[in-house]
Structure formats: C-alpha cells, structure tokens
Amino acid sequence: MPGALRDVWATLTCLQLLLPLAAVNSLPLTWDQDRLQLEAVKKGILERLGMPAPPVIRHQPDQESIQRAQRLYQQKVAELAGNRSREGEEEEEESMSRTRRLHRLTPILLRWPDIPQGHGDSQGHQDPRGPHRYHLLLSRAEEFQRQLQVVQAELKLFKRSPPSPEMSPRGASVPPRVTIYALQGDEETPQLVQSQELDPDSRSLDVTAAIQPWVAGPEATLRLQLDFTANVSAALATSEGETLVLEVETQENTARGARRARGLEEECGKSDGKCCLKSLKVSFQDIGWSDWVIAPHSYYMRFCEGSCPHNYKPANMHAQIKSRVHSLSKATPPPCCVPAGYDPMVLMHYDGEGRLVSSVFEDMLVTRCHCA
C-alpha cells in the first residue's frame, strides 16, 4: 500500500467529510450498500501486487509446494510480529513488561457422522476423509484478547501413540496423515491450514498455525476440521471419556499491548462524529477471491472517519493553524481525518503464473487516526 492503497484510503476518508452531518451519525454502510469501497479495496490490492486482474488458477500445486508456501507465509507473519515487538521495546524499553503464560484449554472433539462407513471412490479406494473426520470446537476464553501473541499451541490428542503405518495396495508402508482445515463463515467453508504425517513418537498435534490467526482475530469460536487417513479413534484421548487438552503458550507485551488496545478502539462509539478509527470486515470469500487468496481468509479494514474541530487530535502545528484559519474563512479547507499509524499484513496468494507466494503490505492496517 505505499502507493495505491494509501491513496484509496485517503481519498475515501476525505470524501466522507463532504457528506452531510447526518451521514456521520448514521449506521456504517455495508458492502452491499456501497460497492465503491469494495471495488476500491480490490483495485488497490491488485495494483499493489502488479496484477491487472485476479489470476486464473488452472493447475493446483502439489502438496509439497503448498506446505513450502505455508511455511514461508508463517515465517513472514512471525517475522513481522517480531519486528513490531522489537520496535515496541525500543520505544518503551524501561516500561515494557513481557509475560509468558501457558493456558490449558478444553476444546470439544466431535466425530463427523455424515459420511457412511466404508465410503470409497468408483475404483474402490477408501476415501481418506471417510469415517476418520472430526470437528474441533473451542470457545474464546476471557483471557484470550487480541494483544496476546501465540508462541506455541499443542493439542494433546492421543492417550497413546497413533496407529502405525498402513500398507498401501502396492505393499508400501504409508505413514498416516492428518489434514487440518479452518471452518470459515456461516457455511463453514473449509480452508486448508496444514497437512502433516502423524509422528508415532508423539501424542500431540502442533496446531500453532491454526491458533495464531484465531487468537488475533475477532471470531468467538475456533472451528477446525481434522481429516485422518487412518482410524485413530482407539488412540484418541477422548476415547474413554477423558477431557481433551489444548496447551497454548502466549507472550504478552503488557505495556504496549494495553496501549495498542486503547489505540485500536479510538473511542469511536463515544466520539460524537469526531475523527476516530472504525473497522469493516473484508472476507475474501465474499468478494469472490477465495480461489486465489489463500490466507488470511479475512481481515478488518480499518479506516479513519469523522470531523476535525479545532484542536482535536492535531497531527502537527500546521493542522492546528489550518483549523484556526478555516474557522475564520471557509475558503480554507478544514483538517482531514487520516491515518496516523499502520501495521503490516501478509497475503498468501497465487501470482499470475499460478505459483503460491506471500506478499507483504507494509502499511495495510491502520492503527491510529489524527487530523491533518
């Protein structure tokens, strides 16, 4: 967004100041009511990626390519999170307090009942999803706020080692695998998170890649789909009525986290139409991009909105003088409510040649607003 997206946000924000005052106090527009904003977002992202139009995906990459792209995406997300943490340390080295906690949560594991036993394809091969599909549900605990950074998440899924490798039709030993999907939206559309072999020496699943975006996002409930290529029911920790445990290690930068939480709220609910930060959820599935944008599945587009009366959140002395001159002569425009800070976002997507890549938008997510 160094060019196109920033211009889009600034243009839309300043145009809002030209609307009647009644429009400021009205309910936020939805995407269906105002397609202009949606098209501006889509155009800005495509221009930033250097793509004239969304790519046409003709061939799906192999599993190894998908896993390699997922690792690169997660690495970039973690790197950006580390950079923001280091920036906070430099700004608040003396006041920063870093806390690590281990949360023991209790998710619910449900066996998916709708696929009959022994279901296979036309050639008689067993459907790996068949009777070995489970849904995992976890409600957000009170302590799971958005300023927490997930370091590691392990699902204590097995009470004993998972099944040993099965024999394929050709006689080769095939290690059992698990594929994890995040269920998105009201229709619970599955989105691939990761696929991995079951470690015969481990009773846990590393679900960090699924927990991190959920903890950082607004959804109240985590919904995962686990597809196993082997029957693991006898090895599950819940097979004898025991409680399933999810251990999540988090790191909280308390001073900076509290400040950022206050900054993201920006008292929009009580700002009386004055300059503040608002959010609008953008779902890549809803805008028709879920076939080529892989992660994240959605994000909150934050934008600055509201009036800038004299001496209200001035960006600098120039903004204060500009506001004063405007009060004396309407020929001078008033200060405009614009972004004052950004966070980056990583987009995992297909490029024009059908490759899975990760692109970093350095200043995609607005964190603060001021009048300039």
Report DSSP state, residue 325. Answer: H
Q: What is the per-residue pLDDT for 132?
A: 86
Tell me how far apart the alpha carbons of residues 81 and 345 are, in angstroms, rounded to a whole number: 10
What's the CA angle centered on 275, arms 274 and 277, to 5 degrees?
A: 125
Report DSSP state, residue 314. Answer: B
What's the CA angle centered on 324, arms 322 and 327, to 5 degrees?
A: 110
Q: What is the per-residue pLDDT for 38?
A: 75
Q: What is the per-residue pLDDT for 337?
A: 93
Query: How long, in residues, is the chain?
Result: 372
CB atoms within 10 A of CB 178: 20
Question: Could you list the pLDDT tens digit for every one of the 372 residues in the chain?
Answer: 455 455 444 444 444 433 333 333 333 444 444 567 778 888 989 999 999 999 988 888 888 888 888 888 888 888 877 766 555 555 544 444 457 788 888 899 988 764 444 444 444 444 444 568 999 999 876 666 656 788 889 999 988 777 666 544 454 567 888 999 999 877 788 889 988 888 888 888 999 989 988 887 778 889 999 999 888 888 898 877 778 899 998 876 554 444 444 444 445 766 678 898 888 778 888 888 989 999 888 888 888 988 898 888 898 888 988 888 888 888 888 899 999 988 889 999 999 888 899 999 988 888 889 999
By the 10 Å C-beta count (0-12 exposed, 13-18 middle, 19+ buried), 318 is classed as exposed
For each of the domains in the chain, give its residue range(s) and CATH number, in order of start. 96-114+128-162+174-257 (2.60.120.970)
What pTM did the predictor assign? Answer: 0.49
Task: Report whether 99 contacts 254 (CB < 8 A).
Answer: yes
**H or E element that contains 258:** helix 254-265
Which of these, 312, 366, 323, lies nearest to 343 by C-alpha position? 366
Task: Report whether 224 contacts 180 (CB < 8 A).
Answer: yes
Residue with tokens 């097979």: 239
Q: What is the per-residue pLDDT for 47?
A: 92
